[in-house]
Amino acid sequence: MRISKTLIAVGLGAVLAATSFAQAEDKIVIGFSQIGAESEWRTANTNDVKAAAEKHGIELKFSDAQQKQENQIKAIRTFIAQKVDLIGFVPIVETGWDNILREAKRAKIPVLIMDRDLKVSDDSLYVAKIGTDTYTEGKKAFNWIDEYITKTNRTPRNGGDKINIVILEGTVGASAATNRGHGFNDALAESPNKDKYAILASQTGDFTRAKGQEVMESFLKSYGKDIDVLFSQNDDMALGAIQAIEAAGLQPGKDIIIVGCDAVKGMFQAMIDGKANCTIECNPLQGDIFFETAKKILAGEPVEKSVYVEEGVYPAETAAEVFPTRKY
Ligand code: GYE
């Protein structure tokens, strides 16, 4: 009795081992190069990619580039050498990808882009891009400011005739920064109220809280009471700027109107606390659609060249109600 039980157990173990070996063999392997962990948004994006890979039964080779394009290029080259089934990456900046993508193409490994845009000499160097419409986000940001200023009959703090705006830009050369900037400027130029506004200063804060705080400090030193509005190209920089504004003895969200992009929890909390006025959503939860698309590509099915995820606009008065439902 004992012996046969053991034999059954050993036999079963062998079968299970064989099955899981076969499954491991069949798993799709995807190499993914993330840019780093500069913001709450990025952390949410990374967590989502990892969770979605597991859900889709993908073997994910994840690499963190620590904000350096050269690290991304190295990671992609390693993925090619490892003969992964597909390569995914977030282009930290728009340009400089042609050579490495040619190497991937020669190795017949399809490339799927996530989040940021890239500029290549030949669009066939990547199959598709999953991401967000950052140009429209920039437009939404200005349009919200314009409506708010008009609706509240706000006048310039310095008693002059212009509502003065300062801008914290994202990483230099990143599509999320360039597009949000263009969208914002285009909406301003198209506004019937365009003469009411002036952009006092615009400088990069690298999408980080620390840099946002530092640059806002210098804006306050140079322009102090002239600043009416801060447009921050992400929420993290806005959260850093809030600290600088408070340290300067001003009330963020009141003396200076604050609008960010991303809609991360930290910004909702700042709005609930009355320290920020609006955030333009940028959805980092792109993992599911990314791996669905990857599977289609590997099955030889057609996919859209560019897919955008859905996004909203959240002014401060919606913050308390929406906060509990936020996933990032
Ligand atoms: O807004 C910012 C981040 O590329 C859209 O990158 C993304 C941006 C996001 O670090 O917080």
Give the model's pLDDT for residue 2: 39
Examine the pLDDT at 14 and tell me if it is beyond 90.
no
The pick from 129, 136, 178, 234 for probing ligand 1's pocket by mutation, whose C-beta has the most ligand atoms within 8 angstroms, reads 234
- Mean confidence (pLDDT) of the chain: 93
Q: How far is the CA of 236 from the centre of ligand 1 (A)?
A: 9
**Atom 5 (ligand 1): residue with closest C-alpha?**
176
Domain range summary for the chain, segments of one domain joined by +: 5-132+284-310, 134-282
Examine the pLDDT at 93 and tell me if it is beyond 90.
yes
The angle that helices 235-247 and 40-55 make with each other, rounded to 10 degrees, is 150
Confidence category of residue 215, pLDDT binned at 50, 70, 90: very high
Confidence category of residue 199, pLDDT binned at 50, 70, 90: very high
H-helix segments, 94-133: 98-106
Q: Which atom of ligand 1 is nearest to the CA of 236?
A: 11
Annotation: CATH topology of 5-132+284-310 = Rossmann fold (3.40.50)
Q: How far is the CA of 14 from the centre of ligand 1 (A)?
A: 48
- Between CA 72 and CA 118 the distance in angstroms is 13
Give the model's pLDDT for residue 17: 47
Examine the pLDDT at 143 and tell me if it is beyond 70.
yes
The one-letter amino acid at 283 = N
Q: What six digits make up the tokens of 109?
A: 């490994």
Ligand 1 within 6 A of CB of 39: yes
The pick from 237, 259, 281, 282 for probing ligand 1's pocket by mutation, whose C-beta has the most ligand atoms within 8 angstroms, reads 282
Ligand 1 within 6 A of CB of 209: no
- Between CA 14 and CA 32 the distance in angstroms is 33
Examine the pLDDT at 60 and tell me if it is beyond 80.
yes
Q: Which atom of ligand 1 is nearest to the CA of 115?
A: 4
Give the model's pLDDT for residue 15: 46
Q: Is 121 exposed, middle or buried (0-12, 13-18, 19+ CB in 10 A)?
A: exposed
Give the model's pLDDT for residue 25: 61
Give the model's pLDDT for residue 246: 98
Examine the pLDDT at 6 and tell me if it is beyond 50.
no
Give the model's pLDDT for residue 269: 97
Examine the pLDDT at 46 and tell me if it is beyond 50.
yes
Same topology, domains 5-132+284-310 and 134-282? Answer is yes
CA distances from 322 to 140, 241, 309 (A): 19, 23, 19
Q: Which CATH class is domain 134-282?
A: alpha beta
Q: What is the mean pLDDT of residues 153-178?
A: 98
Q: What is the mean pLDDT of residues 304-313?
A: 91
SS3 helix, strand, coil % of the chain, rounded to 5? 50, 20, 30
Ligand 1 within 6 A of CB of 179: no
CA distances from 187 to 76, 136, 237, 269 (A): 37, 9, 22, 28
Ligand 1 within 6 A of CB of 261: yes
Give the model's pLDDT for residue 8: 41
Q: How far is the CA of 35 from the centre of ligand 1 (A)?
A: 10
Give the model's pLDDT for residue 124: 97
pLDDT in tens, 264-306: 999 999 999 999 999 999 999 999 999 999 999 999 999 999 9
Examine the pLDDT at 3 and tell me if it is beyond 60.
no
Give the model's pLDDT for residue 20: 46
Ligand 1 within 6 A of CB of 97: no
Give the model's pLDDT for residue 22: 44
H or E stretch covering 189? helix 175-190
Ligand 1 within 6 A of CB of 65: no
Q: Which residues contact 11 (CB under 8 A, 6 or more apart)?
A: none
**Atom 8 (ligand 1): residue with closest C-alpha?**
176
Cβ burial 253-283 (10 Å sphere, 16+ → b, else e): beebbbbbbbbbebbbebbeeebbbbbbbbb
Q: How far is the CA of 38 from the centre of ligand 1 (A)?
A: 8
Q: Which atom of ligand 1 is nearest to the CA of 116?
A: 4
- Between CA 199 and CA 141 the distance in angstroms is 14
Examine the pLDDT at 11 and tell me if it is beyond 80.
no
Q: What is the mean pLDDT of residues 125-132?
A: 96
